[in-house]
Chain A
Amino acid sequence: MNLLLKIWRQKGPNSPGKMVDYPVTDISEDMSFLEMLDVLNDQLVVKGEEPVSFDHDCREGICGMCSLYINGQAHGPERLVTTCQLHMRSFKDGETIYIEPWRAKAFPVVKDLVVDRGAFDRIMNVGGFVSVNTGGAQDANCLPVSKVDADKAFDAATCIGCGACVATCKNSSAMLFVSAKVSQLALLPQGKIEAQERVLNMVEQMDVEGFGNCTNTGACEVECPKGISLENIARMNREYLSAALTGEEKKEITGGF
């Protein structure tokens, strides 16, 4: 198939960028979207032009690196797939395809289609963990977990941190991501101990990073490649409300011994 690609090109974080047209020919519909871009980049290298930079790693839908806004939708037109799992058969011969980076203040463009999603890491750093002592593993029956909670926690834990929820949200809100990370721990006994602190800290960091606020349009749930449910956002709102009302006040930890 032959296509006209309109791709966002930007040299560096502070340079201006623009959409540039690239016609590509003889694309197989069995190629993945990223393979199609590989073909384009090969051609650009041969011509002595700068190849298009884009993020990718596993190319099997599990790492969360790939991140393209394709024809006005995060990860393209299909439901429940990442960009790397999108195939060219989802497009028509002769189609014009717009390819843009995630757009959000909290995700600055590094180069071309690559954005810095370090904001997600910083949110994880303030609460996306449990503090458990190492040592001999205790008997699993000491920590009973209901099947329902285990399933919900597991569903939330399938979030791969790709950022499609932010990219697609009209407010660039990170609520789906943060709520998945809060939920996967809040639902389990190991996570209960730090639950209040966690939700307060992670939400605070989310705001510091400059993400917008959730207005419940539900776009994130539709575009999320892992089908993370809005139920998680409601759970986080509950957790946050109760933690804000009843949680201990933050203590500054000062000095050593």
Chain B
Amino acid sequence: MIGTGILKGMAVTARNFVGSYFEKDRLITVQYPEERNPLPENYRNFPFLPYDGDDPEAGLRCVACKICEKECPPQCIYIVKSEDKKPDYMDKPQFYPKVFNIDISVCMSCQICVEVCPFEAIKMDKVFELSRRERFDALLLRKSDLAKPNEYYHSICPTDAAEVDAKLAEAAAKKKPAAPAAPAAAPPASAA
């Protein structure tokens, strides 16, 4: 009989409508600014530079090797290498980036810079509320905007951060078996 198909469809709609009052599974809308879904640990959005210790300048792990600048597919990283050297977490003198800019209007959060960096110096961030009134300068993140403490990294990705810390501590211990652990090498584990 003509019309039965439509009635069957309406029954589905009615079931969904009534069901949404009882079944959590059918009610999925989150009232965004007030309510938020927790972000999964693997979530990634734009890179940042974690630093050890308290000083964002001294604690930066980046040695300005420019590998990430070269590998970044849309070429949105800009690095200027320093002329002098500063001690890194193993007290070995290293270059550091005088300028480290990421243009996040170009960056596509592909994580390739993180994968290629040999020094665990760049990691993926989780901020996404980044709308700005201005298109150019406000979306160019400079070294001071990008540098964030290692504790912050622990708070957003506890598992990964703990792994990285262990790896760095191990490398430091291997390089200098005699010396006491460098202050920057082992950031407080309680940070997580």
Partners in one complex: no
Measured CB to CB, the residues of B under 8 A from A are none
Measured CB to CB, the residues of A under 8 A from B are none
